[in-house]
Amino acid sequence: MTHDLVAALRPLLTAEASAEAHACGGEPGDLEQAVWVRLLERLETDGPPRDPQGWLRRAVRAEARRSRRTTHRERPYDAEPADDLRAGPEQLALTAARHRALRDAVRRLPGRCPRLLEALLSPKDLTYREIAGELGISQGSLGPERSRCLGCLRRLLAPEVAACEARG
């Protein structure tokens, strides 16, 4: 019975879906599939419709209206969610851990190096003149001092970085 009903309604559904789909901004195949699902739901609850062709036409129009409403409510993504360049929670946690490790290493440096590198890493984005004034050293000696401090930091972090690398 169901097979005969589907076979009899298929050409009419194809024609109706093709006529309605473009007006609602959808695909005929999607509209057909939605109507077949509605028919199966109907067959399970109420049995076959008394007027299958009339029911099919009404169902196609109802699905087209539903599709139109959905299309009007939906907003397209500016970009795919998978292409989102914002860092996720895992990336934020890893970045925070790296920043903490760097700040801890900077605090372990000798002499004026901790103050100098903290000033260079400051979110205030200080100029060399401001850093030199803050530390009480000449602006001309800031570059060589920075190089020495970065060398110390590199030597301090070398064992930690080397330990994390895969060997092999």
Q: Which of 97, 141, 159, 145 is nearest to 117 (CA)?
A: 145
* pLDDT at residue 53 in the model: 93
Domain limits of the chain? Answer: 2-71, 102-164
**Could you report the per-residue pLDDT of 12-48, keeping only the tens digit for each?**
999 999 888 887 778 889 989 999 999 989 888 998 8
Contacts of residue 33, Cβ cutoff 8 Å, sequence gap at least 6:
none
* pLDDT at residue 83 in the model: 59
**What stretches in the chain show pLDDT beneath 70?**
1, 76-84, 161-168
Q: Which of 35, 43, 39, 42 is nearest to 19 (CA)?
A: 35
Determine the length of the chain: 168
* pLDDT at residue 60 in the model: 93
**Could you report the per-residue pLDDT of 78-88, keeping only the tens digit for each?**
666 565 677 78
Domain 102-164 has CATH 3.40.50.150: no
* pLDDT at residue 166 in the model: 57
Contacts of residue 42, Cβ cutoff 8 Å, sequence gap at least 6:
48, 49, 55
* pLDDT at residue 125 in the model: 87
